[in-house]
Amino acid sequence: MHANSCRDALRRLETMVLMGMDMPLAAIQGLIASSVDILIHLGRLTTGKRKILEICEIKDYSRAEYDIRTLFQYKAGQTESLEMTGKLFHTEKLKSYGQYENYCEAVRLFCEEKREG
């Protein structure tokens, strides 16, 4: 889906569901929050290159608002790189799928690569 941010992607998803069926918005939002775990926002830089700009986790939903935790965010400037800004909250899903160790290894490698250069 095309969106300008992770939060914008959620709003667009809500709109697409509303176009197809008549449901209360709060019910749609609750379903989205319980079924979408991770959002990855790709964007185009001024140079024309596409980069991952943000990786977010939907932590919860309450009072008509998604509780989103940013895990990684692209930092512009001299280094221009993806920076780790938070830790995964819902690790139990990864554990139940047997993928938690793979996630931890990927984060470890990402951090090592950042330190080296």
Give helix then strand counts, H and E, for the chain: 4, 4
Identify the band that residue 77 occupies on the pLDDT scale cut at 50, 70 and 90: confident
Taking the C-alpha atoms of residue 117 and residue 112, their distance in angstroms, rounded to an integer, is 9
Summarised one tens digit per residue, pLDDT across range 20-59 is 989 999 999 999 998 998 999 998 888 888 888 999 999 8
Percent of the chain with pLDDT over 90: 38
Q: Which two tokens stand for residue 60?
A: 């919860």
Distance CA 88, CA 67 (A): 13
Note whether 45 and 34 are within 8 A (CB).
no
How does residue 117 score in pLDDT terms, banded at 50, 70 and 90?
low
